[in-house]
Amino acid sequence: MNEWASRLESSVEFYRKLPDKTCQECGKQMDEQCESYENTCPSCAEKLQLSE
């Protein structure tokens, strides 16, 4: 395996080993969205907005 392929494989492995994204409020597993930095699930986000 050449150096480029080795780096690509290690990058893919890094992302594969990341834990599932969870809501910081309730701990429920969240669906990953490629360009989302949300850290609360839609249900908790709605509750937080209503309490403001």
Q: Is the whole model's pTM more than 0.75, yes or no?
A: no
Beta bridge partners of 22: 29
Cα-based distances in Å from 49 to 14, 18, 33, 37, 46: 35, 29, 21, 17, 5
Q: Do residues 48 and 39 lie in contact, with contact meaning Cβ atoms separated by under 8 Å?
A: no
What DSSP state is assigned to residue 1?
-
What confidence tens digit (pLDDT) does each residue in 1-52 have?
577 667 777 878 888 888 888 999 999 999 877 677 888 999 999 998 888 7
d(CA 41, CA 34): 15
The reported pLDDT for the residue numbered 34 is: 67
